[in-house]
Amino acid sequence: MRNLSKATVVKRIAATRKRGGITTTVAASKAGIAQSSWSEVETGKRFASWDQVLAMAKAVGLNIKVIIE
């Protein structure tokens, strides 16, 4: 298993979200977090827990297992 930082995973989540044309509002709603929190995590203004990062990945359809192995 690769040892990726949360920041690296969040960058992949953001890239996947943008590629898929998913707004932060829709993604945040699917992840169960506030849109402002989502944006702050993506821009590095706020740190997320691994649970939040996993929820964000799921919200944009990113298989987290694929990027950590």
Instruction: Give the CA count within 13 Å in the CB-facing half-sphere of 69.
Output: 4
User: Is 69:3 a contact under the CB 8 Å cutoff?
Assistant: no
Domains of the chain: residue spans and CATH: 6-68 (1.10.260.40)
Mean pLDDT per 10-residue interval, the chain, length 69 residues: 78 96 98 97 94 95 73
Q: Is the pTM of this model over 0.85?
A: yes
DSSP state of 69: -
pLDDT of residue 25: 98
pLDDT of residue 68: 58
